[in-house]
Structure 1
Amino acid sequence: MRIRTTTLAAALLLVTLTGCSSGSDPAPTETVTATTTPTAPALSQAEITQQCIDAVAAAISQRSADFDPKTDTDPQPTECDGLSETDYLDAYMDGLQQSNQAGRDELQRQIEEAAEANQP
């Protein structure tokens, strides 16, 4: 911390002395302000895959009851665009499993709720 402070003070002193030693006024300089747009941090492969799995599970869960697997297709969610075909298929199967587990959990909750309601 001291080295930085000392270095900064020495640099400011040098700039001040150098600027004051000339007899003429320095030429005006143009000030340029750079603006940057904050970018989102890059996601890891595991995070991208998990987002894909969650998107697939949500899409499957929201599928209507009249879904016909012979004529309907599952479009690839945009969250999965960065994955290879093999990684997407793995994520799709994981998303399907996640959706199925959520359905089983909900069914179990309903069974327990009905059992409690029928207790004397």
Structure 2
Amino acid sequence: MHNRTAAAIAAGILLTLTACGGSSTEDKPTTPASTAAASSTVDPAQATKECVDAVAATIGARPDDFDPENDSDPKPDACKSLSEDEYLDAYMDGLSEANKQGLADLQDQIDEATERQ
């Protein structure tokens, strides 16, 4: 459990560092609310995918929402049907996706700055 917490903190720091590139929030697409809760028979793989996407969108949109006092991010509604272990795995996957997007955004900014020279 401590390894996952340490990995989440390290990934959060990486995300914070990559989010400091000065890009506006206008560049980030918004993800519509999930309909997983509305369906009574949800495919577990689909529910996990929706949770991963929701975590990535939440972290990508608001990287400052991390609460160090309770060492957790708010749980997206799309993740409520998952067990704690499934949610933790989906959270880590979503964090990874948000980090990949943050790195891609940073590389785009570097490329734009290089083109201007």
- What TM-score, normalized by structure 1, do the two folds share? 0.58
Deviation of 1:58 after TM superposition, in Å, equals 1.0
Report Cα offsets for 1:56-109 as digits up to 9, x if no partner. Answer: 1111112254x5642364121110111111100000000000000000000001
Structure 2, unaligned stretches of length 5 or more? 1-37
- Structure number with greater Rg is 1
The residue that corresponds to 1:114 in the other structure is: 113
Alignment of 1:27-106 (within 5 A): 42-63=41-62, 65=64, 67=65, 69-71=67-69, 73-106=72-105
Q: Name the % identity.
A: 44
- In 2, the alpha carbon distance for the partners of 1:107 and 1:80 equals 28
Partner Cα distance (2:97, 2:87) in 1: 15
Counterparts of 1:112 and 1:84, CA distance in 2: 41
TM-score using structure 2 length: 0.59
Unpaired runs of 5+ residues, structure 1, are 1-38
More helix by share: 2
Q: CA RMSD in A?
A: 2.2
Q: Residue type matched to 2:113 in 1?
A: A
Cα distance in 2 for partners of 1:40, 1:96 equals: 26
Q: Which has the higher contact order (CA 8 A, sep 6+)?
A: 2
Q: 1:59 to 1:68 in 2, by over 3 A?
A: closer
Alignment of 1:17-36 (within 5 A): none
